[in-house]
Each structure stands twice: as C-alpha cells, then as structure tokens.
Amino acid sequence: PQMTAQIGNFTFKHLFLNASGVYCRTKQNLDDLLDNQATGGIVTKSATLRSRKGNPNPRYHSILNGAGSINSMGLPNYGLQYYLDYLLSKSFDKPTILSVAGTSFDENIELLKQIQDSDYQGMTELNLSCPNVVGKPQIAYDFETTNKILTEVFKFFKKPIGVKLPPYFDLNHFDQIAKILNQFPLDHVNSINSVGNGLWIDIETESVVIKPKKGFGGIGGKMVLPTGLANVRALRERLKPSIKMIGTGGITSGKDVFAYLLCGADLVSVGTQLGIESPKIFNRLESELAAIMVEKGYTSVNEFRGKLKSLE
Ligand code: RRO
C-alpha cells in the first residue's frame, strides 16, 4: 500500500522520523538513521548557538521495563554550526529537519537568522517545548511569548519551518494555541514533546532515578500514547489545512501509527522506542502498518488519514 506524506515541497517516501533528541546528536547517529530503508527523514537534536554538555548524569532512565522513559538531558548538543555543517556536507535523498531550541527569546531569533542566512534548504523545526533546562519554562505554555516569538520570526524567516509543541491537557488551551499558530505560515506542527516534569521513584533506594531537578523530568514512551493522540487530534481539528502534523509520543507498533494517522498525522516520529530498538524499528512499524492496511482493504493512507470516527 501507499504510505507516503507531503509537507510543503517535501515528499516523504516513508512515514517515520526519529523524535528529536533520540539517535540524532552525532553525525554518525544521523547517518545510521539514513542508512535504514524505512526512515522517512531525519530530525537533528535540538541545537543551541553554542555546544552544551547538558545536565549531570544520570539524566535518562527507563520506566517499567520500557513502558516509559524519564529524561532531563538538558539540551546536550554540538551547537548549530555542527548540524548545519552536516546538513550542507552532502546531498540527502530524504527530507531533513533541523531542530533548534534557544534558551532565550534572543537566542531563538539568532538561531533562525543564522539558518535563514545559510545555504540550508531543508525544513526547520523550532522547539518551543523543552522541559529540562533549569530555570527555563516550556515556552509554548506561555501563549503571549509564543505569539511574540513567532511574530518576530516571520519578519525575516522565509524558509520552511514548523514548531514542536508540549502536550496540552485542556481543550481551551488547544483553542488558544491553534488560534496563534494559524496566524503564521508554518509548514508543520509536531506534537508532542515529552510530558514535562514527571517523577519516577526507586522503591528500594527510596530515591529519585535521575539527578537533575531533584528527579523531575520529561516522560515519554508507551505511557504517553493517549496524550499524544489527543494532541494530534485536537490540533488537527483546529489548525488550518496548510499546517501539516507530525505525531509523536508513545509509538511502539503499527497499530499506534495507524491510530496517529486516523487522528490526522501526516508523519510520525518515534523517540523512546527508537532508543530501545534502533532504527530497524521503522521497518517493523512500516510492515505492521502495511499489514493492517491490507487487512482493512486500504491501498493508501490518504483513504483514512484524519478520518477518526466519533461515537454517533
Ligand atoms: O534535552 C532535553 O533535555 C530535552 C529536550 Br531539548 C526536549 O525538547 N525534550 C526532552 O524531553 N528533553
């Protein structure tokens, strides 16, 4: 069956991306993702202007035998130039998404100015939802600041760009963020980032499991699937059609991918489970999705994308 997607001028021959942060901090990671047949495209680790070591270890922990993860990485990355160098070093046969996450208003603007002034012609994603930089709130929970940043960005940024959002939990918040995003020529919205500031506890040691922020960190993995589905569904119902959606959060099977597509996702990205299985996971997810489609008699994802049914 046909399992492809289109975002602006970019054609994705496969539906699967890595979630930013997972398997994408080094050039070698990114090459390994690209070497895999069912990879639809690659997303780089969110970059800051300068390289960062991130938070102290331990800063990542698997929860309940892989059913979830908690992280407080703290934006470890090699700096914008490293990722730009990589993306400009060769030609890619799959679309690329350059993720950036400034730790201040001005840094976000400067990151995007440098991308605008570079020769990079791929997609960009502004991460408005990092939960783990000490003392910095998740920007997209502050609607006024989000509106201000995007207003400033689109004064000069003319390349394809989308945003990565945190999960929302109130229908009024979906209305508010969608109203803001719809004012701008964004090419995509990627939902969700990790569920911020969760806590996991080791009963034997009576202690938290990660060091930064007294153990508080972003939750990912299977346990956030319902939240991810809800965010994609709620935003798809509210965003203008020209804004495509990348569904992220809790995918471990072809069924989960099918569910995101029903909610209206154009593409999906995989974080926690990619960390567990390596890029080969995309081949498994693609064959599981294909089997579901064949079983149901679908020949293209376009036949059911966004067509989630309500009861009555
Ligand atoms: O690096 C991180 O701690 C991190 C980031 Br920037 C993010 O956007 N989401 C996340 O779960 N961790």
Which pLDDT tens digit goes with each residue over 37-93?
999 999 999 999 999 999 999 999 999 999 999 999 999 999 999 999 999 999 999
**How confident is the model at residue 185, as a pLDDT?**
98
Identity of the amino acid at 241 = P
Place 312 in a pLDDT band, splitting at 50, 70 and 90.
Answer: confident
Q: Is 73 in the pocket of ligand 1 (CB under 6 A)?
A: yes
Is 104 inside any structural domain?
A: yes
Q: If phi over 0 gives left and psi between -120 and 50 gives alpha, with beta otherwise, what is residue 296?
A: alpha
Indicate the top mutation candidate among 75, 83, 129 to test ligand 1's pocket, ranked by most ligand atoms within 8 A of CB.
75
Does a structural domain hold residue 61?
no
Question: What domain range includes position 251?
Answer: 5-55+75-195+222-303
Reference 210, options 131, 293, 265, 113; nearest CA is: 131
β 39-43/16-18 pair status:
parallel
Distance 103 CA to ligand 1 centre (A): 12
- Name the catalytic one among 130, 140, 149, 261: 130
Res 192 pLDDT > 90: yes
Q: What is the pTM of this model?
A: 0.98
In a domain, 215, yes or no: no
Residue 247 placed within a domain: yes
Q: What is the CATH number of the domain that holds 112?
A: 3.20.20.70
Pairing relationship of beta strands 10-12 and 68-71 according to DSSP bridges: unpaired
Number of compact structural domains in the chain: 1
Tens of pLDDT, residues 16-28: 999 999 999 999 9
ipTM of this complex: 0.99
Classify residue 95: in a domain, yes or no: yes
Q: Is residue 200 part of a domain?
A: no
Residue 65 lies in a domain: no
pLDDT > 90? residue 36: yes
pLDDT digits (tens, 9 = 90+) for 114-165: 999 999 999 999 999 999 998 988 999 999 999 999 999 999 999 999 999 9
Q: Is residue 268 part of a domain?
A: yes
Q: pLDDT-derived band of residue 311, with 50, 70 and 90 as boundaries?
A: very high
> Over the range 58-83, which residues count as b (16 or more CB within 10 Å of their CB) and which as e?
ebbbbbeeeebbbbbbbbbbbebebb
Alpha helices in 64-104 (DSSP H): 80-88
